[in-house]
Structure formats: structure tokens, C-alpha cells
Structure 1
Amino acid sequence: MKSSTTHINVRPGVLYYGNTVVLLSTTNPDGSTNIAPMSSSWALGDTIVLGMGLGSRTAENLAARGEAVLNLPGPELFRQVERLGDMTGVEHARSQHGHGSMRVTDKFAAVGLTPEPSEHVSCDGIRECRLQIEVKVVHCEQDAGQDFLVVQAHVLQVHADPAIVVAGTSHIDPTAWKPLIYNFRHYHTLAPQIGESAITETPTPVQ
């Protein structure tokens, strides 16, 4: 057993240690768009890995139709994100992730978000999200515990609000873009910058 005077052993109920919130758009069987909040995602080059509960409408749509839009909300949308957590697109509503889910057909209207047509996939993006990433699924499998679906997706196109892009480049301005962060089931965003990596390629915006 580890012995330490600086740490104690704990068993957190969930390990959402500061993950970026995503509103994931997927295509329903009838061609309409489902949106669902998630915070289990990470990017490596042009590959994005997503994790979600089995049996959800999102998981079913991804496995069946293989396309999605990752809509990244800012902190001003946290109330819509939280309300979406209580909604489901499956026919039989059920409690999930601590939420008592209710069946909702048009989630856009239910929370006051605006659908926006995509370029390479059939599901809509969310206009209010300043970053939208269209992806195509390349691999799906269950996790080791067979509770979740783990998806690898290839980035097809990134759409950004010009206000968060360094002028004349394709670089997102990290001083202008503030993502919504899910930190141990509490909503946060980024504090002011304290430094930068030596390998950054983003030019300093002209003030």
C-alpha cells in the first residue's frame, strides 16, 4: 500500500477532471438531427475519440449512420447544456447519468438553439456554438467494461466564428475562445492565460 504524507486515497464518483463540453449532433433514422451533451472526447491530429453510454440515441445514430457534428459551446450556453442532459431521443425515456430523462423530439426548439446546415454530413450544427467540427466515424467498439461505446472519428471540416480566429490565419485565438468545461460535474471556463507552450504555432493577435 502506498504511504504518503501529502496525498490520501479517494474514490471519486466520476473522473470528469476538467473535460471540454460537446453538444454532439447525430442523424436520426428519420433524417432529423439529435443533439446530446457529452464531455468524454479528445483529439489527436485529425482523429477525435468520443465515449458515450450504450443504448443512447447518440450511440445508436453513430453506429448506424457514422456521422456527427461536434458543437463546442461557450460558458454562456451552460443552462442549455444542463437542460439537454434531462432529454433523450429514444422512444423509452430512462434515467441516465444521474438525470431523469424525458422524451423530446425537437431538442433545438426545447432549449432555444438554432439548427444550421452542415457541409459534409446530413445532421445540423448548432449556430450558437462558435466552433463546429464535422466528422465521419471510422471505428466503433464497446469499452472493456461493456458499458460504453468508444468511437474514433475523422475530422472532415472545422467551422469557426471569425471572432475567435486570428485574422488572416486558420488558428483559433485562445485569448478569444473560451470553451465550457465540465469539472467534476460542475461547469467552468478558462481563466486568463498564464503562459504558452514553446511549440505553439498560433501567432499573437495584433491588439
Structure 2
Amino acid sequence: CVLNFPSSAQAAQVEAIARATGCNPVPTAKQAVGYVHVRDKFALGGFTAVVSTHVAPMAIAECPLQVEATVMAMHPPGEDDGQGFVIVEGRIRCVHAHEDITVDGTQHIDVARWKPLIYLFRQYLGVGEPVGRNFRAEMPMRASASQ
């Protein structure tokens, strides 16, 4: 799988694909709340598909952060209430970050420049100023994010 992390500036593009599902036919529960089948959700949102380096699914070129992962296991939630989701365990294979969100010349994300889109209680939010740093922020990173 590929986890594509859009920036807060991409909220309208993400919302453009919010009612879209690749399922055809659309499951009854999704039909009831307005989902529609869309074959190419990337195009619908104005996104560009790019080939991933370690997994089969495509990544979204415009997303500042993309994480390629191998799905290791999938589990229904402990109390499956029919919401139609599963818990996915994955192993990160590779991380891609646009240069404009990294600390110059390093593999570190510059938290002052990276403004991820956050979906919280049916609202899209950005982030504010950092309020502190974890002790691990000073630890060196491994040589390659794909290891």
C-alpha cells in the first residue's frame, strides 16, 4: 500500500474525492450516505499518479509525504460495529518526502515547513506552531528510510 499524506493546502482536492469509492457496485451502506463509484479517483482530485519504488500501488505526486508499505496483516476491530473498516499492520518499505518539507541536505522533515492535512471529527485542519520536542528529535536517523 501507499500512504499519501497531503498538505493542509490540499483540503479541497481531498474533499473532491471524499464521496468516491473504487468499489463497483457501491456497497449498500455507502450508497445510503452518498458514495459513488469513480474509477480514477486520482484524476477526480486533480492528482497525478506516480510509480512507487517498492510496492505495486501508485503514489500521489503532489502529496508532500508518501509512505510505501507492505501489508503484513489485517484485523477486524475488537468490537466490529459494522462500520466497514479493518486494522492494518504494515511494514514501511520506503518514505518519500518533497525537498521543500525537508531540512536542507538531510532526510529530516522540517516541522516548520511541513503542514499536513489533518482530518478530525469530520473537519479538515492544519497544524499550528510546534509546542515542544521529544528527546528523540536529537537522535541521528538511519542512513536509509527504506531499511
TM-score in terms of structure 2 length:
0.83
Matches of 2:32 and 2:90, distance apart in 1: 27
- Give the secondary structure class of the aligned counterpart of 1:132: strand
What TM-score does the superposition give when structure 1 sets the normalisation length?
0.61
Residue 158 (structure 1) aligned with residue 92 (structure 2): no
Distance 1:202 1:98 in 2: 49
- The one-character-per-residue Cα deviations of 1:134-166 (angstroms, maximum 9, x if unpaired) are 000111111112333111000000001011111
1:78 to 11, 15, 37: 11
Higher strand share goes to which structure?
1
Work out the CA distance in 2 between the residues paired with 1:121 and 1:85.
Answer: 24
Number of residue pairs the alignment of both structures matches: 136
Q: Which of the residues 21, 32, 36 maps onto 1:102?
A: 36
5 Å-filtered alignment, 1:137-176, equals: 137-146=71-80, 147=82, 148-176=85-113
Q: Spell out, residue by residue over 1:108-147, the C-alpha distance to the aligned partner (whole angstroms, 9 max, x if none).
A: 1122110011001111100110000000011111111233
Moved over 3 A (4+): 94-99
Gaps of 5+ in 2: 141-147
Contact 1:172 1:202 in 2 (8 A): no
Deviation at 1:99, TM superposition (A): 4.1
CA deviations over 1:57-103 (Å, ceiling 9, x no partner): xxxxxxxxxxx000000011111212212011111224539841011
Looking at structure 1, the residues matched to 61 and 10 of structure 2 have their Cα atoms a distance apart, in angstroms, of 12
Q: Does 1:119 align with 2:53?
A: yes
**CA separation of 1:97 and 1:196: change in aligned 2, threshold 3 A:** farther
RMSD: 2.0
Unaligned runs of 5+ in 1: 1-67
SS of 1:70's equivalent in the other structure is: strand
